[in-house]
């Protein structure tokens, strides 16, 4: 009898533990899901507030110009340099496969199309997120921690209008220019490596480029870059504005600004790629092919 009751209590204990761990598991995942949704909601409200202030009043010239300089002019060298290397790396990586098919002159089309549609915009956006986005999150985060953002509000200046709108505008206006720079330098780098070092025929390289890479491809890259700019600016400013106290909080905000921007850039890249292809094949059903 006592054996029976013992085994029954062990069974009851086991099922109790199982129930507890199941409850914990559901609770943990529930907490994570609620946090994720509330963060997305807060970011959406932050983006809405930015748009509202963007539409209601233009930022002053004095606040906009230094940020345009910081985002555009100071980012040009690093974007140009990385663009050049990416163009050359594409030539190095694709040459062997295309040579085996005796189609090495098609490298012009492959390298330049990849640059215009994909690597140029992604590279410019990544560089901007790393160079300017995280610095911006750290700057705004320090302002939050040292009550400078509260000081702006207390003096009747809306911090979103004064701090976020100029940064948002600088990103959206200048990211296409930086993308053009990344693509151009990539094209130059790819051409230099393919023609000067790998010895591919110059005429056919350029002919294939002209044949397969058109204005749609450039538009495709520039259109994507604007979305990347919007996402990076909003994410970076949001992280700065919601920075937690202390040096650790500022560090976390800077890291989160880059990581979240980068993930969002790649996610948007996929979504926009699918959408823009759908638009393209609706407009031109015969499409175009490399072969």
Q: How many CB atoms lie within 10 A of CB 203?
A: 10
DSSP string, 186-222: HHHHHHIIIIIIS---HHHHHHHHHHH--HHHHHHHH
- 244 touching another protein, by CB under 8 A: no
What is the largest distance, in Å, between two alpha-carbon atoms of the chain?
A: 96
We find the least distance from the C-beta atom of residue 210 to another protein, in angstroms, to be 48
Q: Which span sits near another protein by CB under 8 A: 89-97, 120-128, 146-154, 229-237?
A: 146-154
Contact between 91 and 107 (Cβ < 8 Å): yes
- Which residues fall within 8 angstroms of residue 115, CB to CB, at 6 or more apart? 83, 86, 87, 90, 182, 183, 186, 187, 190
- What DSSP state is assigned to residue 245? S
Query: Among 153, 267, 275, 284, which residue sits at the site for another protein (rule: CB under 8 A)?
Result: 153
We find the least distance from the C-beta atom of residue 57 to another protein, in angstroms, to be 10
- 271 touching another protein, by CB under 8 A: no
Query: Among 76, 85, 98, 148, which residue sits at the site for another protein (rule: CB under 8 A)?
Result: 148
Query: Among 13, 147, 275, 278, which residue sits at the site for another protein (rule: CB under 8 A)?
Result: 147
**Interface positions, 125-144, toward another protein (CB under 8 A):** 143
We find the least distance from the C-beta atom of residue 50 to another protein, in angstroms, to be 13
Give the residue among 81, 65, 79, 169 at the shortest CA–CA distance from 130. 79
Interface with another protein (CB under 8 A), residue total: 12
Query: Among 154, 215, 282, 289, which residue sits at the site for another protein (rule: CB under 8 A)?
Result: 154
Contact between 95 and 196 (Cβ < 8 Å): no
Chain contacts with another protein (rule: CB under 8 A): 143, 146-148, 150-151, 153-158
């Amino acid at each position: 009898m006592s054996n029976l009751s013992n085994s029954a209590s062990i069974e009851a204990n086991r099922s109790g533990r199982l129930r507890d761990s199941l409850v914990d598991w559901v609770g943990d995942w529930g907490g994570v899901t609620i946090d994720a949704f509330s963060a997305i909601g807060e970011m959406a409200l932050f983006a809405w507030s930015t748009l509202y202030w963007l539409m209601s009043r233009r930022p002053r010239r004095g606040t906009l110009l230094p940020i345009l300089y910081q985002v555009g002019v100071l980012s040009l060298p690093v974007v140009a340099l990385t663009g050049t290397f990416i163009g050359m790396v594409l030539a190095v990586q694709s040459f062997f496969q295309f040579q085996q098919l005796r189609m090495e002159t098609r490298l012009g089309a492959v390298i330049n199309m990849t640059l215009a549609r994909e690597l140029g915009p992604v590279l410019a956006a990544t560089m901007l997120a790393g160079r300017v986005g995280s610095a911006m999150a750290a700057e705004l985060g320090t302002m939050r921690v040292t009550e400078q953002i509260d000081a702006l509000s207390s003096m009747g200046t809306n911090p979103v209008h004064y701090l976020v709108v100029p940064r948002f505008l600088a990103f959206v206006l200048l990211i296409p220019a930086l993308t053009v720079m990344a693509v151009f330098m990539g094209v130059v780098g790819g051409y230099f490596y393919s023609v000067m070092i790998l010895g591919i025929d110059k005429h056919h390289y350029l002919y294939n480029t002209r044949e397969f890479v058109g204005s749609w491809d450039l538009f495709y890259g520039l259109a994507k870059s604007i979305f990347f700019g919007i996402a990076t600016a909003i994410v970076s400013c949001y992280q700065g504005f919601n920075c937690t106290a202390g040096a650790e909080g500022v560090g976390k905000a800077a890291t989160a600004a880059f990581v979240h921007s980068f993930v969002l850039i790649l996610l948007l890249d996929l979504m926009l790629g699918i959408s823009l292809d759908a638009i393209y094949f609706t407009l031109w059903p015969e499409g175009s092919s490399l072969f």
